[in-house]
Amino acid sequence: MHIDECEDSAPRSRFVKDPIHDLIEISPRLSSFLDTRQFQRLRNIKQLGTTYYVWIGACHNRFEHCIGVAHLSRLLASHIKTSQPELNVTDRDVECVAIAGLCHDLGHGPWSHVFDGMFIPKTMPHVEEKDRWTHEKGSEMMFDFLVQENNIEIDEHDKNFIKALIAGEHDRTPSEKSFLFDIVANKRNGLDVDKFDYIARDSHMAGHAVNINTSRILQSARVLNDQICYDIKDVNNIYEICATRFRLHKMLYNHKTAKAIEYMIIDVLLSADKYLGISDSLDKPEKYLRLTDSILETIEASEVEELKEARQLVRRIRTRDLYRRVDYKVLPYDMRNFAREKITPQRILDAVRERFSCHGEGAGSQVDANGLGLDDIIVDFSTMHYGMKEKNPLDKVMFYSKSRPNQCYPAQDGDYSFLRPTVFAEVMLQVFTKNPDFYGVVQAGYRAVVASLGPEPFRSTASTAQQGRTGSPDVSEGPPTPRDSPMATPTGSVTDILQSYASLPSIPSTTPGGSCLSSLLRENEFTKVDASYRHISPVKQLVKPRSTSGGPGGSIGSGGKVFPTSGNSGSVIEMQSLGEKRPRDYTGFMEEPGSPSPKRRKAANGAKG
């Protein structure tokens, strides 16, 4: 009896049902970290931030993602421990790796990367990027807070090891096995279980599920030369993970509406920061504990005057009166720095003022740009890549074969599909306006800035990048275009530039970077609007139609339609199409109570015959 009681009182593992990995085992040790305020906080932080406003199925949170990463971390570490006992991977190693996977996102702020990727740089503009606060630093702070508040017994060396695993920095604990740092945060090639989980989870929840066999990849993992390698048979599977990462960034994470709402939320937080002290909580774990996506509801429910501006922005989000993207362009990765320098809100504003400052002549007479300020213009650059910026991530992954399981090599041409891109990174340039009334004006200003650049600055940039890759200039490249040629940069006022730009010939695609230059300078016909265009939100489009005569039920317009007034339900009813309907006789279908069904009656009549 005493033994049974001891067995019943002993801590047991529990299981949770996950849509991605099915049943996940939560060990008692892992539960001591999971059942805390610090970890439960992640239930209130969206995994994909504002993407949920566009993909309504993408409502998953950091909570379930971290559990999934802990699960995969334990599986991979346990597989290495079992399949390669000579590596001396211990149960303690497996446990630390699993805890690191569970706690790796403890430091994420509201709307995940929106907070540390966009809000923090705005509040700390003079802090260098290497010294800036990141969610990884926040995770270490919250991990220490979790251990301290919940009195978790853990060796100090183990605690430092877990924090180093979260950061992916082996040099902080050089006595530990270096290949274990490839599991949670792989700085070598970016291929880690964090990526395995979020790619599968984000795709599934957004309704774009991918068929990537993660279990097979984990089972093929093998440590060679102190790094995790994979079977060459899985090279296409691994490449698909990298390709899917790029597609998710292009299709979901940088969607124009999600990006617009990101900037609106940033403005909400910046406006409320002075009153709520949001940025002051970065080094205060108790205060940071309460900083989640729910801050939007906190601001919305407030009545203080200091948060009035923030409340108005929240209301705009709720009513879909959003910032609007006026134009976009996909740029080659090599041009990112030049474009950031030349295409700025200030240059766009200057172009608008130059073109529309005089109302007596030309296009400016039809457009009122008064009131447009620098803060109304947003120029966003989003880098989208396969996981290692401009490099092919598979160049950094090592593979082995069944015939030579103890030797590893990088995959070469012919080892996997040739149907892959020649470049692995690009930049999405998006221009937004905070005031939809200036939609056409801001677009005209942006296009004037691009036109004023002309082809030559971009040609020199592309040529420099090309020389950097090849080591010598392309001998087929012709001499620079002279200033008096038809392709020379237009000069004069912005209006003159816009007019002369239309006559520019296409840049030959044989010129280094020529094809991308011509695409940059070419106006986007799919987004082009008149400078006087003003975007009207869906809510504002619901205006009451003008009536021709009145009545208690509505106003009768042409064609016999009844238009809604404040006294009716608001629906539009077509009256002329409602003719008189002939009444039908249903008595033939009526049955007496208790009479047999038609089927039974038919069977009975057949038996009589």
291-312 tens-digit pLDDT: 999 999 999 999 999 999 999 9
Mean pLDDT computed over 175-198: 97
Instruction: State how far the Cα of 585 lies from the Cα of 583, in Å rounded to an integer.
Output: 7
CA proximity to 225, closest of 179, 165, 174, 173: 179
Mean pLDDT computed over 433-437: 95
pLDDT classification of 515: cutoffs 50, 70, 90: low
Is 135 in the active site?
yes
CB crowding 487-513: b at 16 or more within 10 Å, else e: bebbeeebbebbebbeebeebeeebbb
Instruction: State how far the Cα of 87 lies from the Cα of 176, in Å rounded to an integer.
Output: 12
pLDDT, tens digit, for every residue of 285-296?
Answer: 999 999 999 999
Is there a domain that residue 354 lies in?
Answer: yes
Contact 172, 92 (CB under 8 A): no
CA angle 157, 158, 161 (to 5 degrees): 90
β pairing state of 227-231 and 398-400: parallel
Query: Active site residue: 60, 71, 108, 135, which one?
Result: 135
Is there a domain that residue 315 lies in?
Answer: no
Contact 222, 15 (CB under 8 A): no
Mean pLDDT computed over 371-399: 95
Reading the block at residue 331, the tokens are 């740029």
Is there a domain that residue 6 lies in?
Answer: no
Count of H helices and E strands in the chain? 23, 12
Contact 353, 320 (CB under 8 A): no
**Average per-residue pLDDT in the chain?**
82
pLDDT, tens digit, for every residue of 244-268?
Answer: 999 999 999 999 999 999 999 999 9
Mean pLDDT computed over 121-134: 86
The pLDDT of residue 130: 80
Q: Determine which of 52-56, 239-243, 341-345, 508-512 has the lowest per-residue pLDDT on average.
A: 508-512
Is there a domain that residue 353 lies in?
Answer: yes
The pLDDT of residue 565: 38
For the cut 60, the answer to whether the pLDDT of residue 557 exceeds it is: no
For the cut 60, the answer to whether the pLDDT of residue 473 exceeds it is: no
Phi, psi values for residue 562, rounded to 5°: -100, 115
Q: Which domain holds residue 360?
A: 323-384+421-471+485-542
Is there a domain that residue 395 lies in?
Answer: no
| Residue at token pair 């799919």 | 526
The pLDDT of residue 136: 92
CB atoms within 10 A of CB 257: 16
Question: What are the contacts of 16-23 at 24+ separation with CB within 8 A?
Answer: 16/67, 18/64, 18/67, 18/68, 18/71, 19/204, 19/205, 20/68, 20/197, 20/200, 20/201, 20/204, 21/68, 21/71, 21/72
Helix 494-501 to helix 439-453 angle (10° resolution) is 70
Instruction: State how far the Cα of 598 lies from the Cα of 601, in Å rounded to an integer.
Output: 5
- Beta-bridge partner residues of 227: 224
pLDDT classification of 605: cutoffs 50, 70, 90: low
The pLDDT of residue 546: 52
Is there a domain that residue 510 lies in?
Answer: yes
Is there a domain that residue 436 lies in?
Answer: yes
pLDDT classification of 601: cutoffs 50, 70, 90: low
For the cut 50, the answer to whether the pLDDT of residue 566 exceeds it is: no
* Contact residues for 588 (Cβ-Cβ < 8 A; gap 6+): none
* Centroid of chain to Cα 508: 35
| Residue at token pair 């790094």 | 227
pLDDT, tens digit, for every residue of 540-551?
Answer: 776 555 544 444
pLDDT classification of 523: cutoffs 50, 70, 90: confident
Is there a domain that residue 194 lies in?
Answer: no
CA quadruple 569, 571, 572, 574: dihedral sign: negative
pLDDT, tens digit, for every residue of 9-32?
Answer: 668 999 999 999 999 999 999 999
Instruction: State how far the Cα of 93 lies from the Cα of 222, in Å rounded to an integer.
Output: 16
For the cut 50, the answer to whether the pLDDT of residue 457 exceeds it is: no
For the cut 90, the answer to whether the pLDDT of residue 469 exceeds it is: no
Side by side, the strands of the sheet bearing 425-433 are 324-332, 425-433, 377-385
pLDDT, tens digit, for every residue of 418-430?
Answer: 888 999 999 999 9
Contact 181, 168 (CB under 8 A): yes
Instruction: State how far the Cα of 270 lies from the Cα of 119, in Å rounded to an integer.
Output: 8
State what percent of residues in the chain have pLDDT above 90.
66
For the cut 80, the answer to whether the pLDDT of residue 52 exceeds it is: yes
Q: How many domains does the chain have?
A: 1
pLDDT, tens digit, for every residue of 577-592?
Answer: 334 444 444 344 344 4
Instruction: State how far the Cα of 555 lies from the Cα of 332, in Å rounded to an integer.
Output: 57
Amino acid letter at 479? P
